[in-house]
Chain A
Amino acid sequence: MTIPVFEPWNDPEAKPLIQFQNVTKRFGEFTAIDDLTLGIYEREFFALLGPSGCGKTTMMRMLAGFETPTDGKIYLSGQDIAPVPPNKRLVNMMFQSYALFPHLSIWDNIAFGLKRENKPKHDIEERVQEMLRLTRLEKFARRKPHQISGGQRQRVALARSLAKAPKLLLLDEPLGALDKKLRQDTQFELMDIQEKTGTTFVIVTHDQEEAMTVASRVAVMDNGKLVQVATPDRIYENPNSVYVADFIGDVNIIEGTAKPTGPDQYDITWKEGAEPLNVKSQNSFSDGQTCHLAIRPEKVTISADKPADADNAVQGRVLDIAYLGNISTYHVELPTGAVIKAQTANTRRIARRAFTWEDPVWLSWTATAGVLLAE
């Protein structure tokens, strides 16, 4: 039996649950969202990632109904949602500040949305109980929000927004207020809950690690535009621009000019007097075109002697070492003055580290290790 791969975005038959169609949002002179078109599919865990002010929160607020697009249309299940007020949308939101009602108990907070639907009392009780169980809050049902810890508050906010079983759940920086360790645990909890409930999640975050961990697809935004929308591994391995490569994780960017040498093969002249780099690229470049080679530090191998059969090898000396416990990042200065970062896993104890400051070393990588980008 094969498990079907979940990737409705590659299925031309699949209809997106949410469809942004040429949506523009302006606040006075400022354009927050610029002619944006995007489809988000059912059961997806979709992450909007970008620096603050890139428009990701505006997109979420338009989905929730707190902002209306200046231009363009947003469809939910094929229906234009512009005329639907927030309280009539099958969309719920988890707020960055959690926005728990301080005068109500945890139980009443979770029941708040259900009570608005005039459901029978018994159904409400059952649903709240279910939510408390899902978020492991049974013990705290009678407490007030200020009587529980930050992590518990976060779970109350989640339970409250899930209680009405929305078609779409919006999460605005849901883990921003938690410390790192708790955040990591909660990320897995979120994924687990998303899978159990089968709800479509859209998460807004500026933390790229968080987006990579939880999301089925990530949209990287900048200045109100989508720069790239793809699965986390494609975003990381095949960024479509220097902006994305630089925003996600650590990267070495080497600028140079391309010279085609064969099918998908290029020589990159990058420094006067240095040997050209040998790169394989799916993106095509013309002779003499300016290009950027983006290469991740962990794909650069560091060694004492020149490797015999490497596609690319450069010599330098260790300028700095960042020891992070499990891995170390070496900053290696080349004779040309450029600094390249190389990362190795610390599989041996630190006392037996092979290189130290000022050591001459060789850096090498394969022709397919990096991505060649135009801009």
Chain B
Amino acid sequence: MNRLSWFNTVSLTLGFAFLYIPMVILIIFSFNESKLVTVWGGFSAKWYGELLQNESFLQAAWVTLKVAVLSSTLATVLGTMAAYVLVRGGRFLGRTLFSGMIYAPLVMPEVITGLSLLLLFIGIGLDRGVMTIVLAHTTFAMCYVSVVVSSRLITFDRSLEEAALDLGCSQAEAFRLVTLPIIAPAVISGWLLAFTLSLDDLVIASFTAGPSATTLPIKIFSAVRLGVSPEINALSTIMIGIVTVGVVTASLVTKRQMVRQRRDEQNAERS
């Protein structure tokens, strides 16, 4: 192991401190006995217990999960299709315009996206609820998915698809049997990205949510306006935990796969 120079050590410490001190404080205070958020009253896990009793939080969590799963799945399907056409479709009329337009929501202020969706839903008389949040999240998450998937498709060896066609596949079969299994990791990470985006979106959700459906971020935000309660700290800690476990698992799986592949390739070369 190389020893870090003092300069690198300082940069590393500052960087990590900047990133993680707020979260560490939040986690510590979620185990606070006292009801006062800023005063340490001893260790306790009681807020976690109370959280499980809080019907409205659980309700919001369930809505959030439903919305996240539905919208990320829809966004993955649409985003993958868009990416496939844009990368593989050749030079059809308006291709540049389309590829520019699919990325526009990435830079569009969320307030505008939310507002325009709200106007649309009112215009077509769609009652706001789970359905409208799902549609709204699908709209803005699909461009993220299409960015992730198209960057994979660009490096995809086209002759693999041609080989599938050559061996008797129709275009659709070639996609299902060859392209999709190979780009699956990119599609999955696109799904995960869409899922997390939906999970923590506040702005768009607050425009498109109705009284019947409230997501967790909206719930937390409105609760915080009445004062930060230790319950919210506990809830946030759980969310941090879930995200951490997910990210670490995903990276471990990818890493192990890479190591195995490299070992196999070395073995093949030696034999």
A interface residues, Cβ below 8 angstroms from B: 64-66, 85-88, 91-93, 95-97, 99, 101-103, 112-113, 116-117, 144, 146-149, 152, 160-161, 164
A91 CA to B163 CA in the complex, in Å?
11
A-B interface, 6 closest residue pairs, ranked by CB to CB distance from nearest: A113-B167, A116-B168, A99-B163, A99-B159, A86-B165, A147-B264
Residues of B within 8 A of A101 (CB): 160, 163-164, 178, 182
- Please list the residues of chain B having a beta carbon within 8 angstroms of any beta carbon in chain A: 157, 159-160, 162-170, 173, 177-178, 181-182, 261, 264-265, 267-269, 271
Number of A-B contacts defined by CB within 8 Å: 73
Residues on the A chain within 8 Å of B181, using CB: 103
Find chain B residues with CB under 8 A from A87 CB: 165-170
Interface contact A97-B159, CB-CB below 8 Å = yes
Give A74 to B206 CA distance when docked, in angstroms: 62
Q: Specify which chain B residues have a CB less than 8 angstroms from the CB of A88 in the assembled complex.
A: 168
Most buried by B among A85, A148, A160: A148
Contact in complex: B271, A117 (CB < 8 Å): no
Q: Which of B162, B168, B178 has the most CB of A within 10 A?
A: B168
- Contact A66 B167, CB 8 Å, known A99-B157, A149-B269: no
Q: Decide if the interface of chain B is mainly helix, strand, loop or mixed.
A: helix
Kindly list chain B residues whose C-beta atoms are within 8 Å of the C-beta of A66: 162, 165
Give Cα A66–Cα B167 distance, bound, in whole angstroms.
Answer: 13
Chain A residues in 8 Å Cβ range of B182:
101-103
15 contacts between A and B (CB under 8 A): A66-B165, A86-B166, A87-B165, A87-B166, A87-B168, A92-B166, A95-B163, A97-B159, A99-B159, A112-B177, A116-B167, A147-B264, A149-B269, A149-B271, A152-B268
A113 to chain B: which residues have CB within 8 Å?
Answer: 167-168
Chain B residues whose C-beta falls within 8 Å of the C-beta of A112 in the assembled complex: 164, 167, 177
B173: chain A residues at CB < 8 Å are 116
From known contacts A99-B157, A99-B160, A101-B160, infer whether A164 and B268 are also in contact, taking CB-CB under 8 Å. Answer: no
User: Complex Cα distance A161/B167, Å?
Assistant: 8
Is the pair B169, A99 in contact by a Cβ cutoff of 8 Å? no
Q: How far is the CB of B185 from chain A (nearest CB, A)?
A: 11
Cα-based distance from A113 to B168 in the complex (angstroms): 6
Cβ A147 vs Cβ B167 within 8 A? no
Question: Which listed residue, B160, B166, B268, B269, touches A93 by the CB 8 Å rule?
Answer: B166
The listed residue (B159, B162, B265, B271) touching A86 by CB distance below 8 A is B162
